[in-house]
Every structure is written in C-alpha cells, then in structure tokens.
A and B are shown apart, each in its own frame.
Chain A
Amino acid sequence: QVQLQESGPGLVKPSQTLSLTCTVSGGSISSDTPTYYWSWIRQPAGKGLEWIGRIYTSGTTKYNPSLKSRVTISADTSRNQFSLRMNSVTAADTAVYYCARYHYGGGAFDIWGQGTMVTVSS
C-alpha cells in the first residue's frame, strides 16, 4: 500500500529556510487517476493542524494564503518525491510537519506520513 515518509533537518536557525522532502512508496505521484493532491500539513506541539499547501501531478500548486509568501512546494517525479521549502522561518514555525495524500474523489487526506519534528532555534 502507499506509504509516505518525511525527511529533512530537525533544527533550523531563525531567518533561514526549512526544507523537507516526502518520499512516496507503493504508488506513483505522477498518476492522475484517481486524482490525488500531495500536501504538507503542520502541527505545533499541543496544538491543532494547519494545512500548508499542495501540489498536483501536473505541477500545479495551491498554498494556504497565510503562508503563501514564504512557501514553495515542488515535485520530483523521477524520485517519486515532493518537497516543501519555507523561508524566513521563526520560532512560530516550530512544529511537526506531515506530508499527506489528498484523495480528490474521497475528499480527504487519506494517507499521512509519520511526521517529522522541526525546531526553529539558534
């Protein structure tokens, strides 16, 4: 079955760029049927979930307007991976970052990675 795995640095300095990669196994991110959107979601410790953005197999992206100015999501279909870059990070960006698959037909984030903790600190 499809599995997602996040990877990247666990510690980022303030004002620098956070970079994470999600590796997808058991399925191709290039497949356009069914329709899937590959997403990033984060969760600060003890708090709720915040959708960051998504990418479709065509390369089309959509971002949360509250983060749009700082976020870029890209995909590498040859490696079956998609990535998140967030610049100018502050302590408020400290959170567990999840990658997830959104199933357009089912209308839900149906598969999630285990999450990776990112701390922004000098």
Chain B
Amino acid sequence: QSVLTQPPSVSGAPGQRVTISCTGSSSNIGAGHDVQWYQQLPGTAPKFLINGYNNRPSGVPDRFSGSKSGTSASLAITGLQAEDEAAYYCQSYDTSLSAYVFGTGTKVTVL
C-alpha cells in the first residue's frame, strides 16, 4: 500500500554524503503534509529521526537533515558512519487515503 516511493538501496563510503529520495503525489507530500523520517536498524523497531520542521530528537546527530519540494522529499546523511547502516523510511499523511503512509524503505550500506 506504499504510496511513497523510495530507492531500494543507496551506498557510500565513510565520510561521504548520501541522499534518500521520497516521491509522493498531490494527495500527500504535494498537498503540503509534512514528511518525517525513521531509521530502522536490523531486528529493531523504527526510530524517529527527523520531522518536517527539521527537528531531531535528542541524540540524533545533525548529520541528518531533511528537505521537501513539490511532491518529493529527501533525507541527507553527511559524514556517513558505519553506524548509519540501516533501513530508512519516510512518512507523511495522505488526504485521499485518509491515512498515515510510509515509504517503501531504503537500505543504506556503508562501503
């Protein structure tokens, strides 16, 4: 039921910058709904990473940042570290579906 599309995987060397895209439509991101991002380490629950206002919970480094334009959003990770290897999900609200929706998920690999 994922209406938000993400690339299945992205990779980068330690210290590099990687970005993850989240493509939606006029009924979710394009309708002005905020986009949040979550990190899921293997075998664990998702963890809130950053919200639509670029606010991060305490403990989340400022190497993570979000942006939004039109019907898409992006998560950028700068200074990539081995501990960043995880799955990342975007999340928004869809007016047509009347439901919170998640992205398809992106696996980040640190080379």
Q: Report the separation of the CA atoms of residues A112 and B89 in the bound assembly, to the nearest whole angstrom.
A: 14
5 closest Cβ pairs, A-B complex: A49-B102, A51-B100, A108-B36, A112-B45, A108-B51
Interchain CB contact under 8 A, A109 and B45:
no
Q: Which of B36, B45, B103 has the largest number of chain A CB atoms within 10 A?
A: B45
Q: Chain A interface: which of B13-21, B73-81, B91-99?
A: B91-99
Given A48-B104, A50-B102, A66-B1, are A113 and B45 also a contact pair (CB < 8 Å)?
yes
> A98 at the A/B interface (Cβ < 8 Å)?
yes
Q: How far is the CB of B13 from chain A (nearest CB, A)?
A: 27
* B99 adjacent to A65 (CB under 8 Å): yes
* A65 with B105: CB separation less than 8 A: no
Size category of the binding interface on chain B: 20 to 34
Give the bracket for the number of chain A residues in contact with chain B: 20 to 34
**B 26-56 contacts with A by CB, 8 A:** 34, 36, 38, 44-48, 51-53, 55
A64 touches B99 (CB 8 A): yes
**Does A106 belong to the interface (CB within 8 Å)?**
yes
Q: What A residues does B55 contact at CB under 8 A?
A: 106
Q: Is B7 engaged at the interface, CB distance under 8 Å to the other chain? A: no
The answer to the question of A28 belonging to the interface, with a C-beta cut-off of 8 Å to chain B, is no
A-to-B contact residues, CB < 8 Å = 39, 48-51, 62, 64-66, 98, 102, 106-115
Given A66-B99, A107-B36; 18 other pairs, CB 8 A cutoff: A48-B89, A49-B102, A50-B1, A50-B102, A51-B99, A64-B97, A64-B99, A98-B45, A98-B46, A106-B51, A107-B34, A107-B52, A107-B53, A108-B36, A109-B38, A110-B48, A110-B57, A112-B45
Tell whether, in the assembled complex, residue A51 and residue B51 are in contact, meaning their CB atoms are under 8 Å apart.
no
Minimal beta-carbon separation of B95 from chain A (angstroms): 12
Docked complex Cα distance between A6 and B44 (Å): 14
- A114–B91 CB distance below 8 A: no
B110 within 8 A of A: no
**Does B2 make an interface contact (CB < 8 A)?**
yes
The reply to whether A109 and B91 form a contact with Cβ atoms under 8 Å apart is yes
Chain A residues with Cβ under 8 A from B38's Cβ?
A: 49, 109
